[in-house]
Amino acid sequence: MSKCITSWAVVSAHRAAVIGALALVAATVSPVAAEQQRTSCPAGRDASCICWTENGIAKVSCTSKRPAARVATPTSPSDQSPGHLAAASRISKEPVDADPPQLGSMTDEERRTYLQKRQDDLDREVLAAQRARFLARAAGKTDEEVEKLGRTFKDLQQRRHANLSRLHALGSAE
Amino acid sequence: MVLAIMATAVLMTLIAGGLIESSAALRSTHNYKNATQAIFAAESGVLDAVKTINGPGVVNYQTEVVDSWSTVYGSGSRTFATGSGFSYSVSPVTTAWDAADPSNRGTLRAMAMGPRQTTSAVVARVLRSNVPGTSPGAIYLANDNPTDADFQGNSFSIDGSDMNFTGGPGPANAVPGIATRNATNTEETVDSMGGAQLDNVTGMGFNPGPPPTPSVKTAPAGMSEAQLSQMVDELLQRPHAPCTDAVINNGSSCTYGTVEAPQITYLSNPGGIVVQGNGNIDGAGILIVEGGLTIQGTLDFKGLIIVRGPTTIDYDSETQVSGDATLYGALWTSDLSLDVGGTAIVQYSSEALALADQSGGGGALPAPVQIVSLGDCAVIPSGTGGCP
């Protein structure tokens, strides 16, 4: 009997300790009142994005997802599906010579950051398209397929140069 | 008294005889030990020489090893190990066996010298392997002098992981993305890369970090410039497709081989070659370029490219086209410059290097030699089999 009472006491003490610890953690983690303030999004953000600051930290939430910036390197000809070059196609659909629409309202510094980021993306995408074209040729894909990949590559290359020229104009090209 | 003296004399004689006997036995044991150690030292000499030969590998044993022994290994003696008292020397000798196929066969004789004038000799028959050696790196900067590598922009990928040009990973171990001849050039190459470029050079030893550690290594056993030059001379003795154009453009009629029929192509203009914006090199096998290679157009190649000069990938300001180079295999060049305008992929590929090896009648790439027999000259009749 006394053993039973002792075990009950130990279990109860343990439960109480766990509940207390959880309460302490919850009190520490959850802010009493998070200070939120809506702000305008930096130029270059998608129109669906909402930006705000929370306790001084900038936050952003977008409803439409942007394609991944990094394009996976194809490891086999079968990897060269149109989906593989999805990001490349997105950029390909933009006019080559026109400034990206987001640039208009940016400061020079924002513009430089934006263009540099875009340049990095384009570098990766050009290399992915170049490799895809090479592997397609090596794998004996049809001329039509190779030509299509070649067009994508050339198009991306032009965009890359156009972007590079803009960066040069800002005096910050690598 | 007389008996006592005689007994003492006999005893002394016996003792003296015993001492002489034991001393002789001891000396004999020492000699046996020294002779055994001398054989080991001589065998080690053979292994040392084979390791030195296999650093760069061999295309033609006769010209690259036998005729160049003084630069490849040297005829002087080498100390076996500090304090051991042994030394050895190795030299190529000619026997009836290797005279039958001097390009692929050879005999090495190692002489070991030790304490108490102990000498030993062993002879080893070596045979060039059919399996080509690997490249020191996806890019090998075969330059003993200081290099001046230049990486502009972020549009390049140099990867020492083995990948097939037909898709998927290859069977070989990874090699460094860039290999150099010495630590100074390795440091210079790494220092030439900025933060965003460090993860563009992958392969053996790459660490994604942060910060990333690029795969740039020293390969002192790789070919020296002189050895590379000799290898090129060897390759040009084989069937090859010459091209004398200084500029490769859409009017160029040179051919560069195919996967089905890889070839050795020789771009011989001494001042170097420029692949212009509308020019295109698409081929397989081995591409040898004199003077330097500037790519402002397109280069798609599977195999080995050897450039006796710098390789530059940049932008053709006239045609407004940037150079794009895709190479599966390896690039051996004396220096490298990647301009911000160009894009470059250099991917190590043992599958593509096999195409290079098939070029020019086969066995075109340097391959290691293997020891096929080892003999102790103590049991071989003097003057036969390469023994003294």
Q: Which of A103-107, A122-126, B91-95 has the lowest mean pLDDT?
A: A103-107
Angular region, B122: left φ>0, alpha ψ -120 to 50, beta rest: beta
CA dihedral B321, B327, B332, B338 (to 10 degrees): 30
pLDDT level of residue A25 (50, 70, 90 thresholds): very low
Do the Cβ atoms of B324 and A130 come within 8 Å? Answer: yes
| List of chain A residues whose C-beta atoms are within 8 Å of the C-beta of residue B326 | 130-131, 133-134
Mean pLDDT, residues A144-159 taken together: 83
CA distances from B46 to A142, B40, B52, B124, B387 (A): 54, 10, 10, 7, 14
pLDDT of residue B66: 93
Do the Cβ atoms of A75 and B282 come within 8 Å? Answer: no
pLDDT of residue B17: 81
DSSP per position, B299-311: EEEEEEEEEEEEE
B119-163 confidence digits (pLDDT tens): 899 999 999 887 777 889 999 988 888 888 888 878 889 999 999
pLDDT at A134 over 60: yes
B319-357 confidence digits (pLDDT tens): 666 788 899 999 998 888 877 667 889 999 999 999 999
Please give, rounded to a whole number of angstroms, the shortest distance from the CA of B237 to a CA of chain A: 29
Q: Where are the alpha helices (DSSP H) in chain B?
A: 2-54, 61, 69-72, 96-99, 183-191, 225-236, 350-358
CA distances from B275 to A156, B247, B298 (A): 21, 6, 7
pLDDT at B250 over 90: no
Mean pLDDT, residues B161-187 taken together: 91
A69-122 confidence digits (pLDDT tens): 333 344 434 344 334 444 445 555 555 555 566 666 777 788 888 888 888 888
pLDDT at B2 over 90: no
CA distances from B229 to B111, B175, B181, B290, B369 (A): 31, 23, 15, 11, 20
Q: What is the mean pLDDT of chain B?
A: 87
CB B139 within 8 A of CB B349: no
pLDDT level of residue B225 (50, 70, 90 thresholds): confident
Angular region, B272: left φ>0, alpha ψ -120 to 50, beta rest: left
pLDDT level of residue B317 (50, 70, 90 thresholds): low
| List of chain A residues whose C-beta atoms are within 8 Å of the C-beta of residue B324 | 130, 153, 157
- Alpha-carbon distance of B312 to B295, in angstroms, equals 6
Please choose, from the candidates B47, B173, B209, B45, the residue with its C-alpha nearest in 3D space to the C-alpha of residue B112.
Answer: B45
Q: Which residue of B has its CA nearest to A130?
A: B326
Mean pLDDT, residues B221-246 taken together: 87
> Strand, coil or helix: what is B188?
helix
pLDDT level of residue B217 (50, 70, 90 thresholds): very high
| List of chain B residues whose C-beta atoms are within 8 Å of the C-beta of residue A119 | 154
> What is the number of alpha carbons within 13 Å of residue B254 lying toward its C-beta?
27
Q: pLDDT over 70 for what percent of chain A? A: 39
pLDDT of residue B340: 66
Residue predicted with more confidence, B62 or B336:
B62
B282 CB-contact burial (10 Å; exposed 0-12 / middle 13-18 / buried 19+):
middle
Q: What's chain A's Rg over C-alpha atoms?
A: 27
pLDDT at A38 over 80: no
Do the Cβ atoms of B196 and A153 come within 8 Å? Answer: no
B10-22 confidence digits (pLDDT tens): 888 888 888 888 7
pLDDT of residue B365: 83
pLDDT at A145 over 90: no
CA distances from A107 to A53, A59, A112, B105, B234 (A): 21, 20, 8, 71, 61
Number of CB pairs, chain A paired with chain B, less than 8 A apart: 70
Count the Cβ atoms, other than its own, within 10 Å of residue B218: 19
Please give, rounded to a whole number of angstroms, the shortest distance from the CA of B230 to a CA of chain A: 31
Query: Mutation test of the interface with chain A: which of B165, B300, B343, choosing the one with the most A Cβ atoms within 10 A?
Result: B343
- Alpha-carbon distance of B305 to A113, in angstroms, equals 38
- Alpha-carbon distance of B203 to B158, in angstroms, equals 8
> Strand, coil or helix: what is B119?
strand
pLDDT of residue A87: 47
CA distances from A94 to A98, A170, B320 (A): 8, 21, 20
CA dihedral B156, B161, B163, B168 (to 10 degrees): -110
pLDDT at A62 over 70: no
Do the Cβ atoms of B326 and A134 come within 8 Å? Answer: yes
Count the Cβ atoms, other than its own, within 10 Å of residue B329: 27
Count the Cβ atoms, other than its own, within 10 Å of residue B238: 16
Do the Cβ atoms of B340 and A164 come within 8 Å? Answer: yes
Do the Cβ atoms of A76 and B282 come within 8 Å? Answer: no
A75 → closest Cβ in B155, B168, B320: B168
pLDDT of residue A74: 41
| Model pTM score | 0.70
pLDDT of residue A56: 61
B279-290 confidence digits (pLDDT tens): 888 899 999 999
| List of chain B residues whose C-beta atoms are within 8 Å of the C-beta of residue A113 | none
CB A74 within 8 A of CB A128: yes
Q: Which residue of B has its CA nearest to A76?
A: B167
Do the Cβ atoms of A123 and B153 come within 8 Å? Answer: yes
pLDDT at A126 over 50: yes
